A and B are shown apart, each in its own frame.
Chain A
Amino acid sequence: MLLTIVLATLGFATVGTLFSAIAVQTRSREIMLPVLFFPIVLPVIIAAVEASTQAIGGDGGVGIGRWLPLIGVFDALFLVICPWVFSFVVEE
């Protein structure tokens, strides 16, 4: 459960930072952020919801085993990509 929270927050924050940096400079930024952010972060949401359901409902961590790696993969990929492209976004 704790691991789920940590990993999901990490993924959410990584992608969220990147897209906030983009959205804040666009017109109608209130709309752009969710439009950009939601589809991208959807796997983390699904996986986190499922993993916490398993953790609370408690069938002995069988279900968690397949959702945590998904969040892990997502985090790993976006921790590599987001910092790389972030440098392009913030340069003027």
Chain B
Amino acid sequence: MAIAEPVSRTDTRPGSLLTWPNLLVILGAVLMLVDVYLIFMVAPTDSVLGNVQRVFYFHVPMAIMSFLAFTVVFVAGILYLVKRNEKWDRLAHAAAEVGVVFVTLALITGIIWARPVWGVWWTWEPRLTTTLILWLIYVSYLMIRAYAPNRAQGAVYAAVVGIVGFVDVPIVYYSVQWWRSIHPSAVDGPLSEAGALQPVMQGILLFSFVTFLVLFLYLVLERMGLRSLEDQVRMLRFSARKTGRQR
């Protein structure tokens, strides 16, 4: 079973511990612990909504991070189409996966929050509808990668979906907003009253943003590393099969 042909491109760098992902995961773990402490111990309980309001410190940063992720997908998609460098495709793929995870979590935490506050799990409110569409677009982004005839074409198609999808998001947002403004709804967006936050809450929210930014960067870097390992495995397998056939 041994691969006879020695493959020169195996990357056997001695594993240094001081890599970016390692640093980020340590930093992220510390920040996350502090963040959870701040959210559950320090943050004042909301006078109207009660304890369920605390989910907000997870919900908002995750939503924003998913927007950041999709912006990265958009930019990396363009760069990949223009430069055809595998690096950009790896970045786009990693950011899209992390973005989908974050937007899913944002939807779920939103649902958890909506049940006690609005009394329903889900309502077709503008922001919810747009987020669901956003989720659909990027799930289809991942699907097109999986279903493409080969990986290179999958990367191109995915980049196209990433670009078109990102351009589409603001339009969807406005269309749904106008749609509802003609048929006004009883419940308004969760952040409709800006400035209602206490300074302490704002500080904690800001801290939460930093925490999730670190988490996001870590996940993307780790995913990119994993993806390049996957590519290596695929290449090794391919060359092994080729040498096997030649014998």
| B136, A85: Cβ atoms closer than 8 Å | no
CB neighbours (8 Å) of B148 from chain A are 25-26
CB neighbours (8 Å) of B139 from chain A are 35
CB neighbours (8 Å) of A47 from chain B are 175
A25-B149, A25-B153 known; A70+B174 contact, CB < 8 A: yes
Complex CA–CA separation, A85 to B161 (angstroms): 10
Contact of A40 among B153, B156, B164, B176 (CB under 8 A): B164
Any chain A CB within 8 A of the CB of B81?
yes
**Considering only CB atoms and an 8 Å cut-off, how many residues of chain B contact the other chain?**
30
Any chain A CB within 8 A of the CB of B111?
no
Closest to A29 in B: B147
| B153, A85: Cβ atoms closer than 8 Å | no
Any chain A CB within 8 A of the CB of B137?
yes
CB within 8 Å of B: which A27-86 residues: 27-28, 32, 35-36, 38-40, 42-43, 46-47, 50, 63, 66-67, 70, 73-74, 77-78, 81-82, 85
Complex CA–CA separation, A89 to B143 (angstroms): 16
Contact of B164 among A38, A42, A50, A81 (CB under 8 A): A81
| A85, B164: Cβ atoms closer than 8 Å | yes
Question: Which of B27-35, B165-173, B208-216, B218-226 interfaces with chain A?
Answer: B165-173
| B182, A63: Cβ atoms closer than 8 Å | yes
Contact of A88 among B144, B160, B168 (CB under 8 A): B160
Any chain A CB within 8 A of the CB of B20?
no
* CB within 8 Å: A-B pair count: 86
Complex CA–CA separation, A67 to B175 (angstroms): 8
Any chain B CB within 8 A of the CB of A1?
no
| A89, B178: Cβ atoms closer than 8 Å | no
Complex CA–CA separation, A39 to B164 (angstroms): 11
CB neighbours (8 Å) of A18 from chain B are 160, 164
A8, chain B: closest CB distance, angstroms: 12
CB neighbours (8 Å) of A85 from chain B are 81, 159-160, 163-164
Complex CA–CA separation, A33 to B21 (angstroms): 37
Complex CA–CA separation, A73 to B179 (angstroms): 16
Complex CA–CA separation, A78 to B160 (angstroms): 12
Contact of B179 among A28, A50, A81 (CB under 8 A): A50
| A78, B164: Cβ atoms closer than 8 Å | yes
| B137, A40: Cβ atoms closer than 8 Å | yes
Any chain A CB within 8 A of the CB of B140?
yes
A27, chain B: closest CB distance, angstroms: 5
Complex CA–CA separation, A32 to B80 (angstroms): 23
Any chain A CB within 8 A of the CB of B157?
yes
Complex CA–CA separation, A80 to B174 (angstroms): 20
Closest to B137 in A: A39
Complex CA–CA separation, A65 to B62 (angstroms): 36
Complex CA–CA separation, A15 to B147 (angstroms): 20
| B160, A32: Cβ atoms closer than 8 Å | no
A22-B157, A89-B157 known; A70+B171 contact, CB < 8 A: yes
CB neighbours (8 Å) of B137 from chain A are 39-40
A7, chain B: closest CB distance, angstroms: 14
Rank and list the top 5 A-B pairs by shortest CB-CB distance, nearest first: A43-B175, A39-B136, A26-B147, A85-B160, A39-B137
